[in-house]
Structure 1
């Protein structure tokens, strides 16, 4: 708890001391009385606010994940735990660079009050909220007291999404004609092989006869040769995109990936800063895109792209067209190949050598051009 004198109190103290000295020197008792009143006012004010508020404060964010630009609220529930009336105070809560102040009215013994305030969601990313600061001051504004209470929370602001269509024209793979992907796919129907059980495998896939013969648990591993796949390469290099352009790229990536996940396509997200994994769920994907940040790496963009031998669609989101010279060579591994350059003010769609190149500066224009890519 931190207690401090306000500038008004400092003025009262200085004035009181001056009156006291003048009263002593000039022999005016009234000046000494005024000086004593001023000093007493500061002392009494300090005594009224020095007591820590005996309240419990609970803050709940709802929702705790929200799309950029959508409303998010904090609910503040204050309960007076004492048997005495709790004087009014101010609860201040920080959310990033934004601060909200809630004027909590006086509470009766065991009284409860609930307050709501809006949180800023204009920018994508994790938004730290709190901790709460309770501030009290005396009626004369001479002394203020501040105490930190509760813990901090985090609001995840997901990237803004636009209406995008699923990737079309994806080359289908057939495991009986060539290699399949490295990992098995959930919900697949074609038996690939029998292997030893590992923690996390579904019990319904246990092959009991094979387990009895081998003397250890064996499970069936399935693949789906017809499930479309989508590879998204998001350029996180600061040399390729500005901060605003990067946020635009993340919004475009979210728009394309979410609709693909909802349609059952298999997804993989890759960045030059080390992100390279299969997307397991839409919520995990959005959380990942909310947290992704730019990096100062200067590696070649396409060096971070995994080698693919079994087709699938490739989407590259960048602003460095010079780093895309090798894109046409990827046609043997990916189809279709779509490069989205987010540094051009004039939206355009160019198709050549089997590669679709989109120029756009706004996320909406980029997604509109994506929807116009021929199958």
Structure 2
């Protein structure tokens, strides 16, 4: 089926020119052909040329800057660059998972405009395509078209990350020997220290780039933990699973433990201090089941919007509450 041609309609100015032309034609019928030549013919030429120009014009192209990924509640600015053969007004579209402001701009034959978006909840969201109102150079006709898109820009919102409650800290502590009574001190990192000993959460709060090392009276022997996340197919369960996996991984990273994650949309290995790939995977994943070779060390299952963590045949419900760690984790 051939693509439909956008309807070309007269603007108010175009309607005014048509009215003047009709009036001049009626007057010219009684006043002579000279009146027709002076008013009617130029007006008809202008109307025809404007309609043809707009009919033959290609849809505008819109290229957008890709906003930096982030967490719910954060804001980003997007720059849109428009190329159009005729004057146009652009109205940008955005998925409902993000808030967008100042989406309409008049850019003439092309130009740039910016707008702000706010991240609302985990997921991957598309920016565009834009609805564009094009007019001819004289402003006599208009049409509404959808911008031509090549690779639409997307906004990526990471899952929320929370501190683990007491029960989960004790459960996950089997990997990190998380005995708070054995904590000794934090000190500056030196080249001979193991990356496993870096306290990533405390280091992220420092204004400089120096690391802090946590010293404990005893240490765990685990360097890598496998975390498998599964969820029902509803959005709330997938969100709960992603937030739980991210929170468990962040806690393990605090103690220098590498996390191997497997979720319905893929898998990745995230060493401490390198979490962007893990967060991108968890931002995109949906619900579903995961095939594993055996029982994972940490198993997260979410149903009805609530996640449960299973480890060593013990089940602990994940309670999301309090302030999120957010940017601190990727600092």
Per the alignment, in what secondary structure is the counterpart of residue 307 of structure 1?
Answer: coil
Per the alignment, in what secondary structure is the counterpart of residue 61 of structure 1?
Answer: coil
Residue equivalent to 1:290: 283
Distance in 2 (CA, whole Å) between partners of 1:319 and 1:187 is 36
* Residue segments in structure 1 that go unaligned for 5+ positions in a row: 81-85, 108-112, 174-185, 189-223, 341-357, 369-375
Distance in 1 (CA, whole Å) between partners of 2:130 and 2:303 is 41
Pair 279,73 (structure 1): closer, same or farther in 2 beyond 3 Å: same
Residue equivalent to 2:88: 89
Q: Which has the larger radius of gyration?
A: 1
| Aligned pairs for 1:164-313 within 5 A | 164=164, 167-168=169-170, 170-171=173-174, 226-227=221-222, 229-238=224-233, 242-271=234-263, 273=264, 275=266, 278-280=269-271, 281-295=274-288, 304=292, 306-307=294-295
* Alpha carbons 1:132, 1:151 under 8 Å: kept: no
1:144-167 deviation per Cα after TM superposition (whole angstroms, max 9, x unaligned): 264526532222221123344794
Residue equivalent to 2:79: 75
* Alpha carbons 1:159, 1:254 under 8 Å: kept: yes
Residue equivalent to 2:70: 66
Question: How many residues are aligned here?
Answer: 260
Per the alignment, in what secondary structure is the counterpart of residue 48 of structure 2?
Answer: helix
Pair 95,29 (structure 1): closer, same or farther in 2 beyond 3 Å: farther
* Alpha carbons 2:86, 2:135 under 8 Å: kept: no
Distance in 1 (CA, whole Å) between partners of 2:243 and 2:153 is 24
Distance in 1 (CA, whole Å) between partners of 2:304 and 2:82 is 52
Residue equivalent to 1:136: 134
Pair 58,270 (structure 1): closer, same or farther in 2 beyond 3 Å: closer
Q: Which structure carries more relative contact order (alpha carbon 8 Å, separation 6+)?
A: 2
TM-score (norm 1): 0.51
Distance in 2 (CA, whole Å) between partners of 1:44 and 1:246 is 56
Q: Cα offset for 1:243?
A: 1.8
Per the alignment, in what secondary structure is the counterpart of residue 226 of structure 1?
Answer: coil
Residue equivalent to 2:114: 116
Distance in 1 (CA, whole Å) between partners of 2:127 and 2:324 is 32
TM-score (norm 2): 0.56
1:144-199 deviation per Cα after TM superposition (whole angstroms, max 9, x unaligned): 264526532222221123344794453359xxxxxxxxxxxx978xxxxxxxxxxx
* Residue segments in structure 2 that go unaligned for 5+ positions in a row: 177-193, 197-218, 326-331
Pair 171,54 (structure 1): closer, same or farther in 2 beyond 3 Å: closer
User: Does residue 3 of structure 2 align to residue 4 of structure 1?
Assistant: no
Per the alignment, in what secondary structure is the counterpart of residue 95 of structure 1?
Answer: coil
